[in-house]
Amino acid sequence: MSSKVSTEVWKPDLFKGKVVFVTGGAGSICRVQTEALVILGADAAIVGRNPAKTDAAAVEIAKLRPGAKVILCSNTDVRDVKLIAKAVEKTVNELGRIDFVIAGAAGNFLSDFNHLSSNAFKSVVDIDLLGSYNTVKATFEQLRKNKGAVIFVSATLHYYGIPFQVHVGAAKAGVDALSNALAVELGPLGIRCNCIAPGGIDGTEGMLRLLKDKQTFIDKVPLHRMGTTKDIADTTVFLFSPAASYITGTVLVVDGGSWHLGSSHGGEGYPVLIKQKNSETVTKL
Catalytic residues: 154, 172
Distance CA 151, CA 88 (A): 17
| 151: DSSP letter | E
Distance CA 226, CA 89 (A): 39
- Tell me the backbone φ, ψ of residue 104, rounded to 5 degrees: -120, 0
- DSSP letters spanning 99-125: -EEEE---------GGG--HHHHHHHH
Cα-based distances in Å from 252 to 30, 143, 240: 16, 21, 13
| 223: DSSP letter | T
Tallying the residues shown for the chain, one arrives at 285
Distance CA 156, CA 196 (A): 10
Helical H runs in the chain? 28-39, 51-62, 81-95, 118-125, 131-146, 166-186, 205-210, 214-219, 229-240, 270-278
Count Cβ atoms below 10 Å from residue 226 Cβ, excluding itself.
Answer: 19
Distance CA 45, CA 228 (A): 23
Q: At what angle do helices 229-240 and 28-39 cross, to 10 degrees?
A: 50
193: left (phi over 0), alpha (psi -120 to 50) or beta: beta
